[in-house]
Amino acid sequence: MLKNNESVASSTEQGGIVNTGTTAVDIEHEKRLAAAKSLEFVRDGMCLGLGSGSTAAIMLQMLGERVRDGLHIAGVPTSEASRRLAEQSGITLLGFDQVTELDLTIDGADEADAELNLIKGGGGALLREKIVASLSRRVVIIADSTKQVERLGAFPLPVEVVPFAWQPIAERLRRLNAVPRLRTNEAGTPFVTDEGNYILDCQFGTIEDPAELAGTLNGLPGVVEHGLFVGLADLLVVGHATGAQVIER
Ligand code: 5RP
């Protein structure tokens, strides 16, 4: 699936698309700056939520270096991919049966608006990511500058659904003016989340009221979770060419 950063990196002046000048190398640099900055919020002894995605992966690698230098932390991974990365980085892992609250979660996002409403789930980990964020005293989102938007909705909203009823749920979503697309993997078969569900990537157009849409989706039977994160992020750390900017909600 096309992520924001890829579309920007591949933009050209041909066909009326403006070249933003942002390259994949720039974006990687921005991700690294954001990831490094976020670690300034980590303290010895903390229980962390460990995010998913490429920006969070950089953060996990950097966190692993701190652990090897003597930092004591433990973390709950938000996906199986992050679990593997954290294990490789020597980070002590905790299960949901071992925590009731987390000190801090550091995670990525697909879009973030000025109120720090987010679209997440581009990597398919939205269910655990939302649970982990909801258990956290503080949530820090790390992102490259392409993720900052005025209004959410250019990135299709991931909606995680029970597999056996995905077609009627897709129809319900169409009636909410969405254009849902079943996420598939390279073989053309449905993408299956860590929890065994399917994802409908839903183009809603500009989302004028994220909280209202979140409430509507929460009320749809068969929707396990959706990627609208409203009121969950406390800080957004955005990488830019020259440094990382911290934005508070
Ligand atoms: C995964 C997510 C990721 O945090 C989101 O897709 C951002 O990923 P990346 O840092 O690779 O752009 O929500 O479910």
- pLDDT (tens digit, 9 = 90+) per residue, 59-116? 999 999 999 999 999 999 999 999 999 999 999 999 999 999 999 999 999 999 999 9
Give the active site residue among 129, 195, 212, 248.
Answer: 129
Q: What is the pLDDT of residue 9?
A: 34
Pocket perturbation via mutation, ligand 1, pick of 28, 52, 201 by most ligand atoms within 8 A of CB: 52
Q: Which atom of ligand 1 is nearest to the CA of 54?
A: 11
Whether the CB-CB separation of 198 and 161 falls below 8 Å is answered with: yes
Q: Would you give the DSSP letter of residue 161?
A: E
pLDDT tens profile 158-195 = 999 999 999 999 999 999 999 999 999 999 999 999 99
pTM: 0.91
Helix-then-strand count for the chain, H and E: 7, 14
List of domains in the chain = 5-149+230-241 (3.40.50.1360), 157-225 (3.30.70.260)
Amino acid at 34: A
What is the mean predicted confidence (pLDDT) over 221-248? 97
Please state the φ and ψ torsions of residue 143, each to the nearest 5 degrees: -160, 155
Radius of gyration of the chain (CA): 18
Helix (H, G, I), strand (E, B) or coil at 192: coil
Whether the CB-CB separation of 227 and 238 falls below 8 Å is answered with: no
